[in-house]
């Protein structure tokens, strides 16, 4: 369970809280359009919201949405990126793979790294070995300072995964935001009032968010940092 103090954690803030805030951003922009003079009041509301654990709750929701849909990502990609990269049949670079297998075999004494023939004869068992290797590397690379680049890629993946996981909520939020701002513009037009630059900017931002949710935040968009993280994690075995 995420506590309020966890919000200071860089991973929680970047990979869980920020995606959740992007989801509610269209509603916030629409609220700003309708009540531009209530900024001070909304600042007070936000302070109370944070103090009561609201941001921690948002981070928890983002994490659950992303984590809950992660198996769907792996299924679309043909398995976890780390597992695929450790397979003889999927490895991007066979020479690097041989070196990584040799290193992992020396680091984990009670694990036998499958040969190509063993992997072909029992791929499920081979994947279990590769997942065990991945878990070993995860435990050995938790030092954020020593493995700063790995941590960076982990944050990038977590951000995109959780944002994609909340895609339905994001689309609904964007539609509601666009609808609310459109209604405001029509209401002002009836009174002969021209929309202010603030209204137009908020409306454009909401449209861009809707387009992002619809066309940009896809499984392939998540796959890019996922594979970059997997590559960096497996490379870490070289320095262990």
pLDDT in tens, 30-61: 988 888 876 655 665 666 555 555 677 788 88
What is the predicted pLDDT for the residue at 74? Answer: 93
pLDDT tens digits along 89-127: 988 888 999 999 999 999 998 889 999 999 999 999 999
pLDDT above 90: percentage of residues in the chain: 64
Average confidence (pLDDT) per 10 residues, the chain, 240 residues: 58 89 90 77 59 72 90 92 93 89 91 93 95 94 93 95 94 95 91 88 95 94 96 91
DSSP state at residue 158: H
Residues 127, 113: Cα–Cα separation, whole Å: 10
Give dist(CA 3, CA 147) in Å, integer: 25
DSSP annotation of 38: G
Per-residue pLDDT at 44? 59
Q: Which has the closest alpha carbon to 66: 151, 153, 163?
A: 163
Give 210-215 contacts, CB < 8 A, sequence gap 24+. Answer: 210/26, 210/171, 210/174, 210/175, 210/178, 213/167, 213/170, 213/171, 213/174, 214/171
Note the pLDDT of residue 207.
Answer: 96
Q: What pLDDT is recorded for position 1?
A: 41
Predicted confidence at residue 99, as pLDDT, reads: 93
pTM over cut 0.85: yes
């Amino acid at each position: 369970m995420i506590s309020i103090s966890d919000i200071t954690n860089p991973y929680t803030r970047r990979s869980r809280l920020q995606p959740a805030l992007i989801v509610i951003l269209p509603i916030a922009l629409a609220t700003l359009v309708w009540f531009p003079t209530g900024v001070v009041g909304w600042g007070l509301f936000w302070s109370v919201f944070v103090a009561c654990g609201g941001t921690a709750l948002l981070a928890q929701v983002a994490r659950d949405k992303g984590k809950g849909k992660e198996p769907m990502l792996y299924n679309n990609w043909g398995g976890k990126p780390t597992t695929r990269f450790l397979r003889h049949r999927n490895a991007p670079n066979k020479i690097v793979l041989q070196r990584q297998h040799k290193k992992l075999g020396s680091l984990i004494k009670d694990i036998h790294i499958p040969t190509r023939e063993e992997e072909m004869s029992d791929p499920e068992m081979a994947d279990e070995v590769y997942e065990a290797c991945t878990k070993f590397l995860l435990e050995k690379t938790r030092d954020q300072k020593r493995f700063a680049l790995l941590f960076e890629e982990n944050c990038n993946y977590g951000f995109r995964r959780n944002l994609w996981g909340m895609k339905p909520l994001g689309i609904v939020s964007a539609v509601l935001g666009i609808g609310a701002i459109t209604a405001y513009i029509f209401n002002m037009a009836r009174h002969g009032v021209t929309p202010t630059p603030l209204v137009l900017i908020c409306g454009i931002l909401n449209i861009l968010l809707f387009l992002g949710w619809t066309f940009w935040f896809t499984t392939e968009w998540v796959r890019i940092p996922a594979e970059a993280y997997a590559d960096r994690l497996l490379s870490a075995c070289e320095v262990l």
